[in-house]
Amino acid sequence: MIPVTKPYLPSREKLDAYIDGIYERSWLTNNGPLLKELTKKLEEYLGVENILLVSNGTLALQVAYKTLGISNTGCTENAEAITTPFTFVATASSLQWEGVKPVFTDISADSWCLDPANIESAITEKTRAIVPVHVFGNACDVEAIDQIAEKHQLKVVYDASHAFAVNYKGNSLLNWGDAATLSLHATKLFHTIEGGAIVFKHKADLERAQQIINFGLAGPEDISGPGINAKMNEFQAAMGLCVLDEMETITNNRKQIGQSYQRELRGRVVFQKWNKHGESNHAYAPVLFESETELLAVEAKLKENNIFSRRYFYPSLDNLEHFKSEQVCANSRDIASRILCLPLFPNMTDEERSKVIKVLMK
């Protein structure tokens, strides 16, 4: 069986050494030494400041909304945020959970990212933020989005779940926006089993978020306001430290597999148009077919050969009833109906990759 993805498991010996230390200290959570070490190393590796590690990627989004004053829980006044329908459901459901209506605007038919040309017409007096997604790690048009946000005095939170270690014009893509969030889930390029991260533009926002994720505590007897428990624990941090040590192997292997797909399948499928200023981290291997009928036939053929792909992202979120979208996003619906993510994971063998390609070329 060839899965669509497989979690990367680092050196067991190194992980055991970290776990031995956890047992010796009996410090399992609450800003432990491994969490502090991972935070520092990630800031250096990614080229960012003001990074906050949390327990998962969905909470990373929710904490960012809360910190930046986007959330609307407990209020009667309506609030909206403009976002993309071509994304994992957590992008929109995290807004809805925080009392903010996701207002979908369409994507570019080539980049599959939120099209800035569609944003301004959707802005109303209720709009508090723009929440774009760097889809599959492809950089959005960050300059255009920033200009719109500045003009209308809106916050920008980038869902950068797929954009770990992606640089844009020589610097980290995570430095754009008021905040950028990462998912560090087991299936991601870099992971902490479960986990997430927020990179804030301003240190004051980081400091506020540090209190929010710890029940709103500013000190043992100082409750600064409402909070939640979103802390990352020491076992998650231990896994992250081990995986980070092996990132060169992970990224090199992914690059070889991704480039092989692009080389061998060119002319058979359509690939995402990459932002010329951004790098690819080969987090995913999405391909586009001529029609949904063709996609379903290929998906079935892959399953017959014990190869598992994924219709990611499907469906387009403006199709879902509970979001009550007033916009029909034609590009998103079209792309979502024809896209398939092929198997890609760091320890994928040449034989497995060749088998996938052979099935698609039949």
Distance of alpha carbon 305 from alpha carbon 301, whole angstroms: 7
Backbone φ, ψ for residue 34 (5° rounding): -70, -35
Distances (CA, A) of 39 to 23, 42, 187: 21, 5, 20
Choose among 294, 338, 236, 304: nearest CA to 29.
236
User: Pick the catalytic residue: 101, 188, 201, 231?
Assistant: 188
Residue 248: Cβ-neighbour burial (10 angstroms; 0-12, 13-18, 19+): exposed
Specify whether 188 is catalytic.
yes
CA nearest 280: which of 183, 139, 174, 170? 139
As a whole number of angstroms, the distance between CA 358 and CA 342 comes to: 13
Burial class of residue 13 (count of CB atoms within 10 Å of its CB; 0-12, 13-18, 19+): exposed
DSSP 38-93: HHHHHHHHHT-SSEEEES-HHHHHHHHHHHTT---TT-SS--EEEE-SSS-HHHHH
Just list the catalytic residues. Answer: 188
